[in-house]
Amino acid sequence: MANNGPLKTIQSSNIAANSGRVLKNTKTFENFSYFLGGIDVTHQNLDKFTPYIRGVSRIFLHKPPLFMNKLDSDMTKAFKTYLETGYKSVSGIGDISVEFTTFEGGFAGQNFQTVQLARDDTESVTISVYELTGSPIREYIDTWVTGVRDPRSGIAHYHGLIEKYFNGDGTGMPYGEINHTAEFIYTTYDPTGLALEYACMFAHCFPRRVPKDHLNYESGNRDNVQMDLEFSAEKYESPAINDIGIWYTQNSKVNWNYLDFTPEYNVAANQSNGFMGQSNNNAGTYTYGAGHGEYHSFNGNMEAGTTLTAVSQLDPNA
């Protein structure tokens, strides 16, 4: 049968305009001998050899736990902002492992194996951050976990939101997985920070513990506190998720050039008394949107509230 179009792989996009932003190596490999016969890095060969360089990755809280956002949107905003800009490491992505089944026979007991299953070994994601004074990270994780399972009673109460729901209070919220789990989008890039090497979604995320070990005392220990926030997770990869990663890349603006740095003061939105008379619309802040997968901007130079799931953003047929 004839090929009806480009092969769809994990390095594909569903949106034509994004095809160049998801890196896919289409070089003619057979015209370069690589390391055989010695290294030749003259210009005639360099186009065939641009190595993968790790170290440029980002994490986005795509969907926060809804009950936490309703309980205290400012706390959720602060947690989301710090997690997305203050993370030290992200780990937990596992390999796809292959399991085999064995057939044995003959007088000599010879055997061979054939493929049984392919399995994604990812079970959790860990985001490491430094704790700040006032313990905002511990406070958020503690409130999140104890609202879903009270450590004394074992009951889910969402810190009063469930009771309000059953009492007919419109500010309440019913119990449900959708209301107390989170989703993250993780992306990694080439050295430009613009071309996507990989994207995945961590879904159905819930903290595996509330970090408190750092609260213990040891004489002479006056060190900082690095918190490893581990979340149970299901990992998904697809061209559609690549497109979401590209959306975040394009809409979460960061000034990468050191010459663009300006020590402006953050002032209230819509004011124009910025540094040295420059117009300053909350410059330098990380705008949050409504917290349901909506617009993010590091420098506040675009309109907040653009919905991520808008048809024009993600539908390849739009």
The total number of residues shown for the chain amounts to 318
Q: Verify that 245 and 261 share a domain, yes or no.
A: no
Q: Verify that 210 and 258 share a domain, yes or no.
A: no
Place of tokens 């400012």: 74
Domain contains 101: no
Domain contains 18: no
Domain contains 239: yes
Q: Residue 266's closest CA among 285, 289, 288, 287?
A: 285
| 3-class SS of residue 110 | strand
Structural domains of the chain, count: 2
**This model's pTM is above 0.75:** yes
Domain contains 150: yes
* Confidence (pLDDT) at 47: 76
Domain contains 43: no
Domain contains 110: no
Q: Verify that 127 and 225 share a domain, yes or no.
A: yes
Q: Verify that 207 and 196 share a domain, yes or no.
A: yes
- CA 31 to each of CA 28, 34, 35, 45, 48: distance values in angstroms, whole numbers, following the listed order: 6, 9, 13, 8, 8
| 3-class SS of residue 88 | strand
Domain contains 144: yes
Residues 12-69: tens digit of each pLDDT: 888 888 878 898 887 777 777 777 778 888 887 777 788 889 989 999 999 999 999 9
Q: Verify that 62 and 203 share a domain, yes or no.
A: yes
Residues 215-273: tens digit of each pLDDT: 999 999 999 999 999 999 999 999 999 999 998 888 776 777 777 776 654 444 443 33
- CA 9 to each of CA 119, 248, 304: distance values in angstroms, whole numbers, following the listed order: 18, 21, 33
Q: Verify that 246 and 135 share a domain, yes or no.
A: yes
Domain contains 302: yes
Q: Verify that 190 and 70 share a domain, yes or no.
A: yes
Q: Verify that 241 and 300 share a domain, yes or no.
A: no
Please enumerate in sequence order all residues whose Cβ is within 8 A of that of 56, keeping only pairs 6 or more positions apart, or say none.
188, 189, 190, 191, 193
Can you tell me the distance from the alpha carbon of 305 to that of 291, in angstroms, rounded to the nearest whole number?
9
Its domain, for residue 136, covers: 54-93+117-250
